[in-house]
Structure 1
Amino acid sequence: MTAQPPPQPQARGPLRALVTARVAERFADELAVLGIPLVATVTLAASPLWIGTIKAGLFLAPLLISLPAGLWADRFSPRRIMATAALVRGLALAAIAGVWALGWLTERWLLALAVAAGLAATTYVVVAQAAVPAMMPQGALGAANARIETGAHVSSTVAPTLGGVLGRFAAAPLLPLAAAASTVVTGFAALKLPEPRRHVHAAPPRIRDGLAYVVSHPLQRRILARSAVANLGMMAIVAMMPVAVIRTMGFDALALGVLLGVSGVGGIAGAAASPALTRRFGEGGVVVAASVVGGAAALLYPVSLALPRGWNIGVLLLAETVSLAAVTVYSVTGRTLRQQLCPPDMQGRMNASMSFAVQGTGPVGAVLGGALASAAGTPAAFWAGALLILASVPLVLLSPLRGMREVPVER
Structure 2
Amino acid sequence: MKRSLHTSAAVIPLRRQRDYRLLWGARTVSITGSEVSKLAIPLTAVTLLTASPAEMGLLTAAASVPALVFGLQAGAIADRLTRHRPAMIACEVVSGLAAATIPLAWLLGILNTPWLIAVALVVGTAAVMFKAANFPHLAVVVSPAQRTEAMAGLQASYSVATVAGPGLAGLLVQVLTAPLAVLAEALSFLASALLLRSIRTPDRHEPARSQGMWRDVVEGLRVSGTNPVLRALLGAGVTINFFAMTYVAVHMLYMVNTLGIPKGLIGALIACSGLGGLLGTWITTRVAGRFGENRVLLVSVLFFPLEILVVGLLGGPLWWKVGVLAVTGTLTGAIVVAFSTCMGAITLREATPELRGRVNATMTFAVQGVMALGGLAGGLLAEWLGLRAVILVSAAGIALSSLWIWVSPLRPGRVARHDTPSPERVP
Do Structure 1 and Structure 2 share a fold, with TM-score over 0.5?
A: yes
Using the alignment, how far apart are the partners of 2:78 and 2:94 within structure 1?
A: 17
- Greater shift, 169-178 or 148-157, is seen at 169-178
Q: 1:14 to 1:340 in 2, by over 3 A?
A: same
Q: What is the aligned counterpart of 1:394 among 403, 407, 412? A: 403
Q: What's the counterpart of residue 274 of structure 1?
A: 284
Question: Does the C-alpha gap of structure 1 residues 80 and 332 become closer, same or farther in structure 2, counting only changes over 3 Å?
Answer: same
Q: Which runs of structure 2 are paired with 1:181-196 in the superposition (5 Å)? A: 181-193=187-199, 194-196=201-203
Mapped to 1, the partners of 2:354 and 2:154 lie a distance apart of 22
Partner residue in 2 for 1:224:
234
1:328 aligned to which of 331, 334, 337: 337
CA contact (8 A) 1:7 1:144 kept: no
- Work out whether residues 52 and 367 of structure 1, in 8 Å CA contact, stay in contact via their aligned partners in 2: no
Following TM superposition, by how much is the alpha carbon of 1:164 offset from its aligned partner in structure 2, in angstroms?
4.1
* Residues in 2 aligned to 1:170 and 1:372: alpha-carbon distance in whole angstroms: 41
Contact map agreement 1:51 1:239 (CA 8 A) in 2: no
Partner of 1:75: 80
Question: Which position in structure 2 is the counterpart of 1:143?
Answer: 149
Amino acid at match of 2:273: S
1:127 and 2:139 matched: no
- Say if 1:127 and 1:201 are closer, same or farther in 2 by CA, change over 3 A: closer
Q: 1:388 to 1:93 in 2, by over 3 A?
A: farther
**How far apart are the structure 2 equivalents of 1:385 and 1:173?**
37
Please report how far the alpha carbon of residue 340 of structure 1 lies from its aligned counterpart in structure 2 after TM superposition: 1.3
Look up the equivalent residue of 1:265 and give its one-letter code: L
The answer as to whether partners of 1:93 and 1:113 remain within 8 angstroms in 2 is yes
Asked whether the equivalents of residues 210 and 346 of structure 1 are also in contact (C-alpha less than 8 Å), the reply is yes
Give the structure 1 partner of residue 184 of structure 2: 178
Cα separation, partners in 2 of 1:188 and 1:91, compared to 1, 3 Å: same
Relative distance call for 1:385 and 1:195 in structure 2 (3 A) is farther
The structural deviation recorded for 1:236 is: 3.9
User: For 1:212-245, what per-residue CA distance to the aligned partner results, in whole angstroms no more than 9, with x for missing partners?
Assistant: 1111100010001101121122234446666667
1:21 to 21, 26, 29: 26
Which TM-score applies when normalising by structure 2?
A: 0.79
CA change 1:117–1:147 in 2 (3 A) is: same
Mapped partners of 1:279, 1:308: distance in 2 = 42
Amino acid paired to 1:276: R
Aligned with 1:285 (options 287, 290, 295): 295
Distance 1:88 1:201, change over 3 A: closer
What is the number of residues matched between the two proteins? 404
Aligned counterpart, 1:197: 204
Instruction: Flag the 1:168–1:87 CA change in 2: closer, same or farther, 3 A.
Output: same
Give the whole-Å Cα distance in 1 for the aligned partners of 2:309 and 2:190: 38
* TM-score (normalised: structure 1): 0.82
Counting only pairs closer than 5 Å after superposition, residues 253-264 of structure 1 correspond to structure 2 as: 255-264=265-274
Give the greater-gyration-radius structure (CA): 2
Q: Secondary structure at the match of 1:402?
A: coil
Query: 2:246·2:376 contact (CA, 8 Å) conserved in 1?
Result: yes
Partner of 1:360: 369
Match of 1:31 in 2: 36
Quote the offset at 1:264 in angstroms: 0.8
**Structure 2 counterpart of 1:207:** 217
Q: Distance in 1 between matches of 2:271 and 2:403?
A: 31
Deviations 1:28-79 (A, max 9, x none): 34334455566678776876x9867654433333212222221222222311
- Closer/same/farther in 2, CA of residues 119 and 322 from structure 1, 3 Å limit: farther
Map of 2:419 onto structure 1: 407
Do residues 299 (structure 1) and 309 (structure 2) align? yes
CA contact (8 A) 2:152 2:337 kept: no
Q: Is the CA contact 1:20–1:189 (under 8 Å) kept in the aligned structure 2?
A: yes
* SS of residue paired to 1:263: helix
CA contact (8 A) 1:160 1:258 kept: no
What letter matches 2:245 in structure 1?
Answer: M
Call closer, same or farther: CA 1:302–1:56 in 2, change over 3 Å. farther
Worse overlay, 119-128 or 360-369 = 360-369
Unaligned runs of 5+ in 1: none
Distance 1:42 1:301 in 2: 33
